A and B are shown apart, each in its own frame.
Chain A
Amino acid sequence: MLKITNLNAWYGEAQVLKQVNVSVDQGDVVVMLGPNGHGKTTLLKAICGLVEKTDGDIVYQGSSINGLATEKLVNMGVAYIAENRELFPYMTVLENLKLGAYAKAARPYEKENLEKIFELFPRLKERRSQMASTMSGGEAKMLAVARGLMSNAQFLCIDEPSLGLQPSLRMELFSTISEINRQGKTIFLVEQNIPHISDLADKIYVMEEGRISFEGSSEDALGNEHLKEIFLGM
């Protein structure tokens, strides 16, 4: 579904991504792990058209998307769910969700998707008239994921959904993500640590200093001595 070949990306003069190769198959959950500040978020942003300077190839469903504007990508079914959520603070939950369906491609499915989302996140249904800025961290994360789904996206790029969440909420969110995956969405997820995601992932990548340092299954990752060292300090 998505194939990235020799991708480089820069912030100003600093090169953040170096010759990155990643491929994500349709229907999979692929997880990108790695320490903080090593380029994981930049990779997601580069896919979603949010990094200005990149070179290399990003092919999504057979067409090259590198350099396309975010609004075009949203229409093609790619959604970015930011780590810091990027909600609209002085709007209600419902308004945030409606804006999630702003893209032309999403409009015909707005009602249908809203119903599905309220089934998936009953708490958002309860709080649909609440201001986004007054929600707790966990609810805001759910809203960010839900807003991404409203775009009718087939490919979801989710940046560190578990960051800052207490364990019970984290479990809840991951089980929802896995439910979303069962409903047919392909998911590319960035996380800092292995334990939460090993059940979920069909494939794991590890990024260190802007390069891919590992590619394999969850089992391979859990058995890998180098990864144990960087993630578990063992």
Chain B
Amino acid sequence: MFSEDTILLFYEITDVIIAGLSTGSVYALMAVGMTLVYGVTKAFNFAYGDFFNMGGYLAWMIMFGLGLEFGGYPLVMILVLPILFIVGYALEKLLVAPLRKREDWENKVMMMTLGLALFLTSLYMVVFGVRMKSLPPILEGTLEVGQLVFAYQDIMIFVMSISSILALGWVLNNTRVGLAVRAVAQNPVGATIVGIPKEKIFATTFAISTVMVGFGGILLSQKWFINPNSGGIIMVKAWVVTALGGMGSIRGGLFAAFIIGMLEAFVGWFFGMSYSMIALFGLLLATLVFRPQGLMGKGE
């Protein structure tokens, strides 16, 4: 009924879609973290991509640097996620919080986090070297459905990023801390009035976003490489997803993440990987020209 070529093409496209879905799910995770911190603190974090690499490097360090490979990813998660939380919390308290008391603090925070990004990049180069590192797949092997082949790794990445987004959503909607985070995002003055310690919520939110993007780093570094210099480009990607979705709209960010994951996968497959960034930024520019508030932003 179908020619051999058509069937091959179908398999190839399926592969591309799966790649797009698994990358897109991690982009979604990163965009949610970025949206959260932007929505709550109204400040832009330039070091976001370097926290992605921090996740990757810490995982690498535990598995190979410290020789705890036997513990596999469960041990990595148990150790790395709390470390990321503590690092995020401490950095917010030490670097960002003091700036918030000053005038024009949003710009100062941007400069500060830009400095932090450069600092972390240089730190990674000194500690881990300029050679790229890689992480093993979280799960080896493939799932075969008829002629279709799915890598367990892709399935795991997809499932883990989506479940952590759902978990975050649950926390935001059903816990006291989550309610407080949303309150600060919606009305900081109202939050103060009811007695929410705003400073603590700012730091907690920053820490949560650090965990989310670092977790994304652990997941995606299995497919990419960990490169000390890649923080900038990863931050820009997360920003593209966030801006495309509409800064501050979590649903928009999710939507945009999968659009971009798919776009990258398809353009990379059809034209070659070097074109995917062109397509990505082309899409962002076009969206912002025709819909400056992003896909689902609330506008001004």
Contacts and interface: CB of A to CB of B under 8 A. Distances in A.
Given A99-B183, A102-B195, 14 more contacts: A48-B193, A50-B192, A50-B193, A70-B195, A71-B195, A71-B196, A87-B187, A87-B190, A88-B182, A89-B186, A98-B179, A100-B194, A103-B195, A151-B194
6 contacts: A71-B192, A71-B196, A86-B189, A90-B186, A100-B194, A151-B195
Nearest to B188: A86
B195 A91 contact: no
Report the interface size class on chain A. Answer: 20 to 34
Contacts of A82: 189-190, 193
Interface of B: 176, 179-180, 182-183, 186-187, 189-197
Interface in A135-162: 147, 151
Best-buried of B182, B190, B193, B197 by chain A (most CB within 10 Å):
B193
A102 B194 contact: yes
A80 B183 CA distance: 16
Contact of A74 (B176, B186, B195): B195
Interface in A68-90: 69-71, 73-75, 79-80, 82, 86-90
A88 B193 contact: no
B162 to A, nearest CB: 24
A88 B192 contact: no
Contact of B186 (A69, A88, A151): A88
Contacts of B182: 88, 90-91
B186 A103 contact: no
A88 to B, nearest CB: 5
A99 B196 contact: yes
A70 B193 contact: yes
Interface string A45-65: 000101000000000000000
Nearest to B192: A70
A106 B197 CA distance: 15
Contact of A95 (B179, B191, B192, B193): B179
Nearest to A105: B195
Contacts of A79: 193
B196 A86 contact: no
B197 A71 contact: yes
Contacts of B179: 91, 95, 98-99, 102
B186 A91 contact: yes
A106 B191 CA distance: 15
B195 A75 contact: yes
Contacts of A102: 176, 179-180, 183, 194-196
A73 B194 CA distance: 10
Nearest to A132: B186
A207 to B, nearest CB: 22
A100 B190 CA distance: 10
A87 B186 CA distance: 9
B187 A147 contact: no
A91 B181 CA distance: 12
Contacts of B191: 88, 99
A151 B182 CA distance: 18
A86 B197 contact: no
B194 to A, nearest CB: 5
Given A98-B179, A102-B180, A88 B196 contact: no
A8 to B, nearest CB: 22
B100 to A, nearest CB: 13
Best-buried of B180, B182, B186, B194 by chain A (most CB within 10 Å):
B194
A99 B192 CA distance: 11
Q: Which 9 A-B pairs have the closest CB atoms?
A: A74-B195, A86-B190, A103-B195, A71-B195, A88-B186, A86-B189, A102-B194, A70-B192, A71-B197
Interface in A25-63: 48, 50
Nearest to B186: A88
B194 A89 contact: no
Contacts of B192: 50, 70-71
B294 to A, nearest CB: 17
A167 to B, nearest CB: 28
A129 to B, nearest CB: 14
Contacts of A75: 195
B194 A99 contact: yes
Contacts of A80: 193
Contacts of A89: 186-187
